[in-house]
Amino acid sequence: MATMRAIVIDAAGPPSVMQLKQVPIPEPKEGQARLKVAYVGMNPVDAFARAGTLGFLNIAYPFTPGLEHSGVVDAVGPGVPKDLIGRRVISRSSFGGYADYSIAPAEKLLMLDDRIDLKTGAVYRGASFTAWHALHRAARLQAGETVLIHSAAGAVGVMLVQIAKDAGATVIALAGSQAKLDYATSFGADAAFDYTKDTWIADVKAATHGRGVDVIIDCNGGPNFPKNFEVIAPLGRIFSIGVTGGGQPPPIPFGVLSSKSFSVGGMTLTQVESPPGSDVDKTIIDAVASGRWRVPLGETVPLEAVAALHARLEARALMGRGILAVDTTLT
């Protein structure tokens, strides 16, 4: 039986639970396609799944992470058109990318635009679509407004910076080190402050002449989320789109909302994403393919080094999106 390399997790735990093994190459079943994997964008959801910290994922062990990956279709199951074989695609609907081959529902694969390479293809879609929908559909950003972006040196954060600037907004970035602040600024942030310092709230107020910001996009959540209330302007909008900072935000007393005249919401991309082929879809793809929005391709390591990359992610030491290079010969 032919075998392949795969990262296998037998039980939830720290990065060290990820083991590189030789396992049988899977065969696609009804409605499925098999990808020869090129690159994997290391989505934080992979780390949550590995650690077992998101109960709704319903992970069955043994388990191979790798939610967002690119590759080339090399086989299809019954009911799937044969002309899909050889197509460059993105898989974002099922895990399994930390391996030489992955299986995905054929109908959920996304065709990769000819102008975008496979490495960029493994990263851009989730980050750019999350950022666009958070700003435009959730927060309803308007030209001339001021946006505060948490984790602005991460993949979604970097795309938020560029998309907000493209919409005519002033952007204030928050990140946890000078290197990360410089990184966010290199993508267009107008101001950048270190959220690990006690002065960041005063810095944001000073940067907005005491008024506060119109929109806050928070990728972190956790116990620090209420600090946003101190810098939001009247009728401002705060949106939580991630929990990388330590779980869901604490409950918000209604009196706080009414007394300060702002709103709080949340968003997950799967419920609001514009479908492939839509005007929004084309707009985002064109912006990436043309280079108007730069995709933050971060530290790239081979499959064998994935545990170290997970550890760096959890230590908040990465900028942009970490990438696993599985097969760099694919084009």
Longest dimension (CA), the chain: 68
Please name the amino acid found at residue 312: R
Please provide residue 203's backbone torsions phi and psi, each rounded to the nearest 5 degrees.
Answer: -65, -45
Q: Is the pLDDT of residue 273 over 70?
A: yes
Q: Within the chain, which residue ranges are assigned CATH 3.40.50.720?
A: 130-272
Of 253, 205, 206, nearest to 233 by C-alpha is 205
Q: What is the pLDDT of residue 245?
A: 67
Which CATH superfamily includes the segment(s) 130-272? NAD(P)-binding Rossmann-like Domain (3.40.50.720)
Q: Within the chain, which residue ranges are assigned CATH 3.90.180.10?
A: 3-123+296-325
Handedness of CA 283, 284, 290, 291 (dihedral sign): positive
Q: What is the pLDDT of residue 227?
A: 94
Average pLDDT on 147-151 reads 97
Residue 251's pLDDT band, with cuts at 50, 70 and 90, is confident
Q: Which two tokens stand for residue 86?
A: 């050889």
Handedness of CA 320, 321, 325, 331 (dihedral sign): negative
Residue 77, by phi and psi: left (phi above 0), alpha (psi -120 to 50) or beta?
beta
Please name the amino acid found at residue 329: T
pTM: 0.95
Instruction: Report strand pairing: 101-105 vs 32-41.
Output: antiparallel
Which CATH superfamily includes the segment(s) 3-123+296-325? Medium-chain alcohol dehydrogenases, catalytic domain (3.90.180.10)
Q: What is the pLDDT of residue 59?
A: 87
pLDDT tens sequence across 283-311: 999 999 999 999 999 999 999 999 999 99
